[in-house]
Amino acid sequence: MALQNTIVSLDSGFMAKAFKIGMITALLIGLCVLFFIQFRGLGTEQAMDQAQIARSVISGEGFSTRYIRPLAIRQLSDSGKKFTGGNFPEFYNAPLFPLVEAIALFPIKKSLEMSAADTLSKGDKAIALLGFVLMLTGVFVWYFVGRLLFDQKLALLGSGLLLVTDLMWQFALSGLPQHLLIILFGLVTMCALRARDAKKREGSLHAHLWLAGAALGLGLMSLTSGVTAFLLPGFLAFCLISFPSRLTSFLIPLAVYLVTISPWLLHNYLVCGNPLGLAFYTIFSGSGVSESTLMRGVNTSLTPGGGLTSKLRLGLMDQAGNLWKYLGLNITAAAFLISLLHSFRNPAVSRWRWIVLMMWAGAAVGMSLFGVKEVISGNQVHFIFLPIAIFYGLAFLLVLWNRLEINLKPLRILFLVLIFALTGAPLLLTLFATQPYRVQWPPYVPPFISVLHNWFKPQEILSSDMPWAVAWYANRKCLLLPESIGQLNEASDFGTLGSPIVGLYLTPVSGSESFLSIIKGPYKEWAPVIMRTVNMKDFLLKSFTPLPIDGECILYADSERWANKSAQ
Output the pLDDT for position 242: 87
Residue 8 pLDDT > 80, yes or no? no
pLDDT band at 345 (very low <50, low <70, confident <90, very high): confident
* Helix and strand numbers, DSSP H then E, in the chain: 26, 8
The pLDDT of residue 198: 81
68, β-bridge pairs: 479
Nearest-CA neighbor of 383 among 187, 261, 227?
A: 227
Q: Output DSSP code: residue 114.
A: P
pLDDT tens per residue, range 63-90:
999 999 999 999 998 888 877 778 999 9
The C-alpha angle 290, 86, 64, rounded to 5 degrees, equals 50
Distance CA(415)–CA(408), nearest Å, equals 11
Over residues 322-326, the mean pLDDT reads 94
Other beta carbons within 10 Å of 542: 12
| Alpha-carbon 166 to chain mean position | 16
The pLDDT confidence band at residue 513, using thresholds 50, 70 and 90, is confident
Distance of alpha carbon 85 from alpha carbon 494, whole angstroms: 12
Which of 193-197, 477-481, 501-505, 510-514 is predicted least confidently? 510-514
pLDDT for position 303:
56
425-483 per-position pLDDT tens digit: 999 998 887 777 788 998 999 999 999 999 999 999 999 999 999 999 999 999 999 99
Answer yes or no: is pLDDT of 568 > 50: no
How far is the first Cα of the chain from the last one, in angstroms, to the nearest whole number?
67
169-196 pLDDT, tens digit per residue, is 999 999 999 999 999 999 999 999 999 8
Report phi then psi at 547, rounded to 5. Answer: -130, 155
Cα dihedral 178→184→185→187 (10° resolution): 150
Report the chain's mean pLDDT, rounded to a whole number. Answer: 90
Note the pLDDT of residue 527. Answer: 94
Cβ atoms 242, 55 nearer than 8 A: no
Predicted pLDDT at 233:
96
For the chain, what percentages of helix, strand and coil (3-state, to nearest 5) are there? Answer: 65, 5, 30
Please give the average per-residue pLDDT across 286-298, as a whole number.
79
Answer yes or no: is pLDDT of 277 > 80.
yes
Peptide bond into 24 cis (omega under 30): no
On the question of pLDDT at 566 being above 80, the answer is no
Which pLDDT score is estimated for 301?
Answer: 62
* Closest to 336 (Cα-Cα) out of 382, 402, 403, 404: 382
* CA-based max dimension of the chain: 94
Q: Quick one: CA dihedral 458, 266, 385, 146, positive or negative?
A: positive
Q: What is the pLDDT of residue 290?
A: 80
State yes or no: pLDDT of 320 exceeds 70.
Answer: yes
pLDDT over threshold 80, residue 5: no
Confidence of residue 548 (pLDDT cuts 50, 70, 90): confident
Cβ 185 vs Cβ 134: under 8 Å: no
- The pTM for the full model equals 0.94
Helix axes 409-432, 331-339, angle to 10 degrees: 120
Question: DSSP letter at 463?
Answer: E
| Per-residue model confidence (pLDDT) at position 11 | 54
479-494: average pLDDT: 93
Q: Looking at the predicted structure, is the pLDDT value of residue 245 above 90? A: no
Mean predicted confidence (pLDDT) in 321-340: 92
Distance between CA 408 and CA 102 in Å, rounded?
A: 53
Of residues 371, 360, 497, the one with CA closest to residue 67: 497
Per-residue DSSP letters for 131-178? HHHHHHHHHHHHHHHHHHHS-HHHHHHHHHHHHT-HHHHHHHTTT-TH
* Contact (CB, 8 A) for 254 and 214: no
Residue 230 has a CB neighbour count (10 Å cut-off) of: 22
Amino acid at 483: E
Question: What's at 493, amino acid-wise?
Answer: D
pLDDT number for residue 21: 80
Position 387 scores a pLDDT of 97
Is 70 exceeded by the pLDDT of residue 7?
A: no
Task: Read off φ and ψ for residue 300, nearest 5 degrees.
Answer: -105, 15
Residue 223's contacts (CB-CB under 8 Å, 6 or more residues apart) are: 94, 95, 96, 260, 261, 264
Q: Which helix (H) or strand (E) holds 96?
A: helix 96-105
Please enumerate in sequence order all residues whose Cβ is within 8 A of that of 531, keeping only pairs 6 or more positions apart, or say none. Answer: 511, 515, 518
Residue 10, pLDDT > 90, answer no
What is the residue extent of each domain of the chain? Answer: 2-37, 126-276+322-432, 446-557
Other CB atoms within 10 A of residue 55 CB: 21
d(CA 181, CA 158): 18
Find all residues with CB under 8 Å of 380, minimum gap 6, and list them. Answer: 178, 326, 367, 372, 374
- The residue-averaged pLDDT of 276-284 equals 88
Residue 404 or residue 469, greater confidence: 469
Distance separating alpha carbons of residues 387 and 399, to the nearest angstrom: 18
Q: What are the tens digits of pLDDT across the range 18-62? A: 777 888 888 889 999 999 999 999 999 999 999 999 999 999 999
> Across residues 255-283, what is the average pLDDT?
94
Reported residue count of the chain is 568
For residue 112, count CB atoms less than 10 angstroms from its CB and return exposed for 0-12, middle for 13-18, buried for 19 or more.
buried
Predicted pLDDT at 14: 65
**Can you give the pLDDT at residue 4?**
56
Residue of higher predicted confidence among 346 and 304: 346
**Residue 436 pLDDT:** 74
Check residue 474 and report its DSSP letter. Answer: I
**Omega cis (within 30) before 263:** no
